[in-house]
Amino acid sequence: MFNRAWLAGGIPRTACVAAYEPVCAVSRADSYINRANPGTYDATAPVAAPTWADSTGWTFNGTTQYLSTGLNQADGMSVVLRLSNLSGAVGTPFGDRGDPRIFLVANHPEFWHYGSYNGGGTTLVGTQVQVTAITPGRGYLNGRLVTEFTYTWGGGYYLPMTIGARNYSGGVYSFMGVDIQALYIYNVTLTPTQVKAVTDAMNMLPMRPQLPRFRSWMMGGALTQFRKAFGLRTGSRGVPE
C-alpha cells in the first residue's frame, strides 16, 4: 500500500488538490508528480530546477531555482509544508502575490500570510526538519497552533502558486534557499486536528515503497540469495523447480 499522508485525519480525497513528496521520489522527474492526482498540477521548472536527492527532497539555491504548481490561489485553501535548512534563510518557500503564502525570515516572527494579515508569534529557523501549515486565519508549527487572526480576502491576484519563490504580477521573486521534502495543498480549511494528523504523517515520510529500487535490488541477485537461504532450487530462468 502506498502511503497517503495527505489524507491523514480523515481528510476526503477531493480535498487535496496537490501533494508533492520529493523526499519519497526515485528521481527528480518523479518528484514533480502530484501524488494526489498525477498529471494534474504536476510541478514544472520554468527557468531553473532545484537539485534533488531522496534524503533532502528539493534544494533551492535562493537565487534562480523555483517550481510552478500551475495551481491558482483561492480563499479557503490550506497548505502544509515540510522543510529544513533555514538558518539565515530569507524568502518565500511557497506562495504567490495573493495567498496563502508562507514567508520566512531568520529571527523574524511573522511568517504566515493569508489575505490582508501577517500572522506570527514564533520564529522558524534552524537546520532541523520542521512542518509549517497555514489555513484561513491560523498558522501552525509542527502541528501546534501558533497564531489565530482575522483576515480579509483580497483576491484578484490569481497567479500560479510557486515553490521556492513567490509569484508576482511582475515576475517571480523572493527566492529562498531551503530544502523542501513535502508539500500538500488543500481546497478546504483544515481543522487543527487534521493539521496535527497530517503533520505527524508527513514527519514519517518517506513511507512510500521505492518500487524501482526494489526491482533493481531483486534483479541484482537478492532473489537468488533468498532462494538459496531457504533451500529453493532455481531453473535457468530463476524460477523455483
Cell of 84: 529544513
Q: The domain spanning residue 80 has which CATH number?
A: 2.60.120.200
Domain that holds residue 160: 5-203
Q: pLDDT tens for residues 187-202?
A: 999 999 999 999 999 9
Query: In which band, very low, low, confident or very high, does the pLDDT at 209 lie, cut at 50, 70 and 90?
Result: very low
Residues 115 and 231 in one domain: no
Residues 184 and 226 in one domain: no
Please tell me the predicted confidence (pLDDT) of residue 238.
46
Whole-angstrom distance, CA of residue 230 vs CA of residue 232:
6
Mean pLDDT score, 177-181? 88
Instruction: Please list, in sequence order, all residues whose beta carbon lies within 8 angstroms of the beta carbon of residue 27, skipping any fewer than 6 positions away.
Output: 52
Could you give the C-alpha distances from 112 to 101, 104, 115, 132, 240, in angstroms and in order? 6, 8, 10, 9, 59
CB distance 235 to 241 below 8 Å: yes
Residues 65 and 94 in one domain: yes
Greatest alpha-carbon pair distance for the chain in Å reads: 71
Residues 197 and 215 in one domain: no
Mean pLDDT score, 10-31? 96
Residues 166 and 58 in one domain: yes
Residues 92 and 186 in one domain: yes
Residues 105 and 219 in one domain: no
Cell of 173: 521573486
Structural domain count, the chain: 2
Number of helices (H), then strands (E), belonging to the chain: the values are 4, 16
Residues 240 and 142 in one domain: no
Whether 54 has a pLDDT exceeding 80, the answer reads yes
Query: In which band, very low, low, confident or very high, does the pLDDT at 98 lie, cut at 50, 70 and 90?
Result: very low
Whether 163 has a pLDDT exceeding 70, the answer reads yes
What is the rounded radius of gyration, in angstroms, for the C-alpha atoms of the chain?
20
Residues 199 and 225 in one domain: no
Residues 64 and 93 in one domain: yes
Q: Which amino acid is at 97?
A: R
Residues 122 and 217 in one domain: no
